[in-house]
């Protein structure tokens, strides 16, 4: 029986999606809300999401033995001097970073909008009735 790499790829993508969206998504929502509630700038979310995406890739590897960052392939390609191929090994890490950043930024925006409406209700009233200006 021959080994079909597509079977492993489909299973590993499903595991990666589940870990990224369930665990990483929950962490991204919590981080986005926490930054908004503390009146911190959105740029702080970038560092947090980079750490969170690295952590979710570690969880994929530690819990399910799914290498999100194929270190052996990256080192072998870098040793040959093929840096373009070596850097493509970080592809899923970049995709998970982008997904988690989008989820965290959405949570930040929703929380900040609620915060602004609660703290400055007169601005929302003026926007709704511009003739009062």
DSSP code string of 37-85: HTT--TTHHHHHHHHHHHHHHHHHHHHH---SS-HHHHHHHHHHT-HHH
Q: What is the DSSP letter of 132?
A: G
Q: What is the pLDDT along the chain (133 residues), one digit of tens a residue?
A: 454 444 444 557 788 888 889 999 999 999 999 999 999 999 999 999 999 998 998 888 888 887 776 666 677 777 888 777 666 667 777 888 999 999 999 999 999 999 999 998 887 766 556 555 4
In this prediction, residue 87 carries a pLDDT of 67
Q: How far apart, in Å, are the Cα atoms of 79 and each of 74, 85, 86, 90, 96?
A: 9, 11, 9, 16, 26
- Measured in residues, the chain has a length of 133
The pTM of this model reads: 0.77
């Amino acid at each position: 029986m021959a080994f079909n790499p597509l079977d492993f790829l489909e299973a590993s993508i499903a595991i990666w999606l589940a870990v990224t969206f369930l665990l990483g998504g929950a962490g991204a929502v919590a981080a986005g809300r926490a930054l908004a509630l503390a009146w911190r700038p959105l740029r702080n979310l970038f560092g947090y999401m980079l750490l969170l995406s690295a952590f979710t890739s570690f969880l994929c590897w530690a819990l399910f033995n799914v290498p999100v960052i194929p270190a052996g392939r990256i080192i072998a390609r870098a040793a040959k001097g093929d840096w373009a191929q070596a850097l493509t090994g970080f592809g899923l890490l970049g995709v998970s970073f982008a997904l988690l950043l989008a989820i965290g930024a959405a949570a930040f925006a929703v929380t900040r909008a609620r915060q602004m409406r609660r703290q400055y209700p007169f601005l929302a009233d003026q926007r709704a009735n511009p003739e009062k200006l």
